[in-house]
Amino acid sequence: MNPWHAVLLAVVQGITEFIPVSSSAHLILVPYFFGWKDQGLDFDIATNTGTLIATLLYFRLDVRDLVIGFFTGQPRSSDGDYPPRRLALCITLATIPAGIVGLLIHDWVKTQARNPLLIAGTSIGYGLLLLLADRIGRKNRELGDLGFSAALIIGMAQALALIPGTSRSGITMTAALLLGFARPTAARFSFLLSIPIGVLVALKSAKDLMAAHVTAADLVPMAIGVVVSAVVGYLVIAWLLAWLRRQSLTAFVVYRLLLGAVILAIVLRS
């Protein structure tokens, strides 16, 4: 892969992983529109590892509280927002559905699911659902109000994000908004929820790459993808959380609808 292609794709991943527009869709569509060879799922996972690093760095205090609180049972997080052990258990519970579904449909996601028409449909459909959730959600619940039933519902929504175009952050924020959580809280839990599955996917990918005995030339684009997506992703997390304290999600819904319409127009014309 051309290093500049790797940089562009990593920037795209860093931006779209956290805003609710689907990073997997954009990583498929960029080479499709530019006429490049599809970079494949392994490179996509490398850039996902970069945004995982961004999440760990940005939420490092939460991660510390969750790990220490899980084992010690400390009553509140350092910012006083939630009981760490309960939130850690909620995150664990919410991770299970995506883990199970991911194992069942991994091969389909790697091949047939990388289809522009499918991406157009999920971009539009789940975009409209996000708009509905943003309009009717009560937005009066905070992270300390999260219980096991709500966590499981959000986790089941996360499993849908294995389908390209859905947006992992978008569908989990949609579920959290429908359950009455405030926008920044919905985003914060969505990002924390991405950590366990992200770690598992990164470890499996590293194991597969070592078993495949890839060359240094193959690893260079992946290294670029990890570093660039980590830097961009960190900046985007900070920007999005600030945005959600003041603004609605309508702008992202409009983008999703336009993206889906453009994809349909191009694919159906060709």
Tokens 């992202």 sit on residue? 252
Q: Looking at residue 1, what is its pLDDT? A: 82
Q: Is the dihedral of CA 11, 16, 17, 19 positive or negative?
A: positive
Residue 162 CA to residue 25 CA, distance in Å, equals: 11
Average pLDDT of the residues of the chain: 93
Q: Classify residue 119 as left (phi > 0), alpha (psi -120 to 50) or beta.
A: alpha
Buried b (16+ CB within 10 A) or exposed e, 180-215: bbbbbbbbbbbbbbbbbbbeebbeebeeebeeeeee
CA neighbor of 148 nearest in space, from 95, 212, 198: 95
Listing DSSP states for 71-97 in one string gives HH--SS-TTSSS-HHHHHHHHHHHHHH
Residue 207 scores a pLDDT above 90: no
Mean pLDDT is lowest, of 31-40, 198-207, 210-219, 221-230, for: 210-219
Q: Looking at residue 52, what is its pLDDT? A: 96
Q: For residues 71-92, give the mean pLDDT.
A: 95
Q: For residues 48-54, give the mean pLDDT.
A: 96
Percent of the chain with pLDDT over 90: 75
Reported pTM: 0.93
Q: Is the dihedral of CA 29, 30, 36, 38 positive or negative?
A: negative
Q: Looking at residue 109, what is its pLDDT? A: 77
Q: Residues 167, 126: contact at Cβ < 8 Å?
A: yes
Q: Looking at residue 108, what is its pLDDT? A: 81
Token pair, residue 263, equals 């994809």
Q: Residues 205, 46: contact at Cβ < 8 Å?
A: yes
Q: For residues 168-191, give the mean pLDDT.
A: 98
Mean pLDDT is lowest, of 55-64, 125-134, 208-217, for: 208-217
Token pair, residue 205, equals 């990918």
Tens of pLDDT, residue by residue over 114-158, are 788 999 999 999 999 999 999 999 999 999 999 999 999 999 999
Q: How many CB atoms lie within 10 A of CB 164?
A: 24
Residue 41 scores a pLDDT above 80: no
Q: Looking at residue 192, what is its pLDDT? A: 98
Q: How many CB atoms lie within 10 A of CB 156?
A: 17
CA neighbor of 163 nearest in space, from 201, 188, 126, 198: 126
